[in-house]
Chains A and B, each alone.
Chain A
Amino acid sequence: MPDKIKFTIDGKDCYAEPGQTIYEAAKANGVFIPVLCHYEGLKPVGSCRICSVRANGRWMTSCTQPVTNGMVIENATPEVEAYRKAIIEMLFVEGNHFCPTCEKSGNCELQALAYRYQIMVPQFPYLFPKREIEAFPGFLLEHNRCIQCQRCVRAIQTEDGQKIFALKNRSKDLRINVDLKLAARMTEKEVQKAMDICPVGAILKKEVGFRIPIGKRKYDQKPIGSEVEENK
């Protein structure tokens, strides 16, 4: 078995298995790196850029970049944090995120990151784009809240491997598209999985909402990432 890789995050000595990405290795060493498009068990795509770090001085997405021996990583530095804050703010102004009306509020990863970085107001002007809400037999697709992370595209498939969610259009018109026939056949469990995997409130299971009382939701008391940081 090859030896462990030694590297540093913000000056702290860390160790990784060969082949581990910076994100995975950081997590194993009790260091939180935020992710939005990445999800445990899915092939990383590195599209949201929120997990960017400076590795040996260069910007890299930590969910896709493997750790190498002696790598020097800057993670919680003012520069990297300011960059992440700007990405979160851009996501907030670029869609229509009305948190008070959202069923996912309190369990939303985008919102939780904004709480963690103590964003009181975005530095960019709100765009208020015109987006649709689509209804399917088991769920709603709220395009106002979608951040195009593609978690649903990668994670939700039929038993024979057909994708139910896909991307359509490009650039600012990029949208999640749903296969109507396959979506109609989704079981309650599959719909729940799709809703859970969505970092925001874009995929919503019908006929349930606001089930968990305020104060008991996932990110009400503790910031996102605190479970990672408690490891070390």
Chain B
Amino acid sequence: MSKPVIATASLAGCFGCHMSFLDIDERILELIELVEFDKSPIDDLKKFTRPVDIGLIEGGCCNAENVEVLRYFRENCRILVSVGECAIMGGLPAMRNLIPLKECLEEAYLNSPTVAPEDRLIPNDEELPLLLNRVYPCHEIVKIDYFLPGCPPSADLIWEALMALIHSQPLKLDYPLIKYD
């Protein structure tokens, strides 16, 4: 039997969850014996090269590109996991949900004291992904199978979850593993 394939993505996140993933330390040697990696910032593959078993999503959806990537993952991954607060509820980027988008952009690009008068311009280039009206949790865009809370989820939680998925075992959830911060 071939090894399970893992893919990861960071949408509207800070890469903290990926960093926490790398915090599994020397267990990464064990992991590469067990799985293969496909599209992920870790190997910098831009496109899926084969069907993927487990997709890990960091970050929520704040722009059209995030939505496209998330849908691309859903089409190609058998199991999709929301990793971290941002993927689950929008996280810090979702703090802008309390303020109208127009006001956010004006504050950042027009009215902020750090913007020089000649630079006052709201970015609007067709190369830039369009911002959504608000930040959406991933499970409001596509079906998500599992959720790992935390900011970031601890390396132990990510490890336990991966091992449970790879070995098709129920997830052992010790109390200190579930944290929202």
A: residues with CB less than 8 A from B are 96, 98-102, 105-106, 111, 114-115, 118, 120-121, 125-126, 128, 130-131, 144, 214, 220-223
Interface size on B, residues (CB 8 A): 27
> Is B178 close to A, CB under 8 A?
yes
Q: A121-B82, A222-B175 in contact; A126/B90 too (CB < 8 A)?
A: yes
Is the CB of B111 closer than 8 A to any CB of chain A? no
Whether B147 pairs with A121 at a CB distance below 8 angstroms is yes
Nearest residue in A to B84 (C-beta to C-beta)? A100
Complex contact A118–B95 (CB within 8 A): no
Decide if B68 is an interface residue (CB 8 Å cutoff): no
**Minimum CB distance partner of B148 in chain A:** A120
| Chain A residue contacts of B140, Cβ below 8 A | 125
The answer to whether residues A111 and B137 also contact, given A120-B147, A121-B147 and a CB cut-off of 8 A, is no
A102 to chain B, nearest CB (A): 7
Residues on the A chain within 8 Å of B178, using CB: 115, 118, 120
Cβ contacts under 8 Å, A106 to chain B: 181
Contacts of B18 in A (CB 8 A): none
Is the CB–CB distance between B181 and A121 below 8 Å? no
B93-110 interface code vs A (CB 8 A; 1 in, 0 out): 011011000000000000
Residue of B nearest to A122 (CB): B89
Cα of A99 to Cα of B86 in the assembled complex, Å? 11
Say whether B91 faces chain A, with CB atoms less than 8 Å apart.
Answer: yes
**Partner among B90, B94, B148, B180 whose Cβ is within 8 Å of the Cβ of A111:** B180
B residues less than 8 Å from A125 (CB atoms) = 140
Residues from chain B with a CB closer than 8 A to the CB of A130 are 98
Contact with A along B46-90 (1 / 0, CB 8 A): 000000000000000000000000000000000000100100111
Residues of chain B with a CB closer than 8 A to A128's CB: 90, 94, 97-98, 134
B179 neighbours in A (Cβ, 8 Å): 115, 220
Closest to B94 in A: A128
Which residue of chain A has its CB nearest to the CB of B150? A100
**Which residue of the partner chain A has the closest CB to B146?**
A120
Q: List 11 A-B contacts (CB under 8 A).
A: A98-B85, A98-B94, A99-B180, A100-B92, A100-B181, A101-B95, A102-B181, A118-B178, A121-B139, A126-B89, A214-B181
Bound form: Cα–Cα A106–B149 in Å: 14
When chains A and B are docked, how far (Å) is the Cα of A194 from the Cα of B149? 29
A221–B147 CB distance below 8 A: no
Contact B98 A96, beta carbon cutoff 8 Å? yes
Q: Across the interface, name the chain B residue whose C-beta is closest to A115.
A: B178
Complex contact B149–A120 (CB within 8 A): yes
Contact B173 A118, beta carbon cutoff 8 Å = yes
Select the residue from A99, A111, A125, A131 with max chain B CB neighbours within 10 A.
Answer: A99
6 extra interface residue pairs, beta carbon distance < 8 Å, beyond A120-B88, A120-B147: A100-B91, A100-B180, A120-B146, A120-B178, A125-B140, A220-B179
Give the residues in chain B near A98, CB-CB below 8 Å.
85, 91-92, 94-95
B113: CB under 8 A from chain A? no
- Say whether B88 contacts A121, CB under 8 Å: yes
In the bound assembly, the distance between CA atoms of A99 and B91 in angstroms comes to: 9
Judge if B163 is at the interface, Cβ distance under 8 Å.
no
B123 within 8 A of A: no
